[in-house]
Amino acid sequence: MMTFENNLQIGQGIYTIKEMAHILRQPYHTVRHWVNTYWDGKLGEAYGASYSWRTDGSQAVSFHTLVEFYLLMLLGEAGVPPRRVLLAHQELRQWQDTPFPFASRTVLNSLRTDGKQIYFELPGGDIIALDGSRQLNMDFVRIFFQKLDFDQQELASSFWPLGKDKTVVIDPERKFGHPLVADHNIYPETLFQHHLAGDPIPYIAHVYQLSEQQVADALEFCQAA
């Protein structure tokens, strides 16, 4: 089976199952199950393609698949069964003509849910059930939407896991999409290791020429993960 990443290029990001679990703050076995059962399994079979690929002996996905997994996690926390998420994904993929509809600004801005079903609000205000019903409310997706930047094609281009009021960003065009301190190529884990060694925040900030807030945000990201 071919993959959606057969023509993988720099700027798409590369995330192993372990890295995905770290970023999404989910157990490794849960993320691995999602990849193999839902994306590569049910969705991959429906599309005749795989969302993951093998690199250096590890299974990995792109930035857009990572973003879609985050939405799957939020929908699951809201009570929406995975099978309904997959049905919505399949319908939206046909409408939007993209293998990554859950990474689309248009889709994220128009999704609704009542905790059981998923709906899509049309420009005129009409609501279409993506699995057969009707009704709405999806404030948590609005919050997710605010954690993303989008490119000219309306697809997610960067992800701020703690929100844009914090300074940790995931940008697939920088360092292969590894989490970084915004406006710098410094890994949060690097600062976290200093912290674990007993170095105080003001000292770490001075050494790396960062603000104390940037250091604190990096530590928060690592501690939460």
pLDDT in tens, 179-196: 999 999 999 999 999 999
pLDDT of residue 122: 75
- Tell me whether strands 168-169 and 180-181 are parallel, antiparallel or unpaired: antiparallel
Please check whether residue 98 lies inside any domain of the structure: no
Highest mean pLDDT among 13-17, 37-41, 43-47, 201-205: 201-205
**What pLDDT is stored for residue 225 in this prediction?**
64
Query: Does residue 152 form part of some domain?
Result: no
Q: Is residue 179 included in any domain, yes or no? A: yes
Tell me how many domains the chain contains.
1
Q: Would the pLDDT of 4 be above 80?
A: no
Residue 220 falls inside a structural domain? yes
Instruction: For residue 179, give its domain range.
Output: 165-225
Specify if 195 maps to a domain: yes
Question: Residue 208 has what pLDDT?
Answer: 96
> Is residue 44 a part of any domain in this protein?
no
72 token code pair: 């799957």
**Residue 178: inside a domain:** yes
Q: CA distances (Å), 206 to each of 99, 189, 200, in order?
A: 44, 17, 10
Q: Residue 142's pLDDT band (boundaries 50, 70, 90)?
A: low
Cα separation, 54 vs 44, whole angstroms: 15
CATH assignment of the domain containing 219: 1.10.10
Question: DSSP assignment, residue 150?
Answer: E
> For residue 176, is it within any domain?
yes
CB atoms within 10 A of CB 49: 16
pLDDT-derived band of residue 170, with 50, 70 and 90 as boundaries? Answer: very high
